[in-house]
Structure 1
Amino acid sequence: MKEKIQLTQYSTKSGCAAKLSATDLKEIMKEVPLGRVDELLVGTEHGDDAAAFKI
């Protein structure tokens, strides 16, 4: 049997304390190539912390 790994052992923070600041996130996202698809309703252009896709 394989050793059971708990991913939480690698996390030092949780919840809101684990979030990046808006400034840090914006800096990181500048380096990510983004495409546009018709099903994407809300993406990164408004600084949202989630995306919404039309299914």
Structure 2
Amino acid sequence: MADSVSVLSRRPARIKKSYKIELSVEGQKTPLTARKAPEFKDYFDVLWKELDVND
């Protein structure tokens, strides 16, 4: 699991925006436990919007 995500622009690729990911996961952080964190949906929505090709 990553602690940060960088969104790249179109070619030539540059870092468009970086996000520090802070999930409230107790114990071992796995993809399944991370998806259960309350913040996961918010990060998912924000990052998916960043990837919208129409913007």
* Fold match by TM threshold 0.5: no
Question: RCO higher in 1 or 2 (8 Å CA, sep ≥ 6)?
Answer: 2
Greater strand share, 1 or 2?
A: 2
* TM-score, length of structure 1 as denominator length: 0.29
If you compute each CA radius of gyration, which structure gives the higher value, 1 or 2?
1
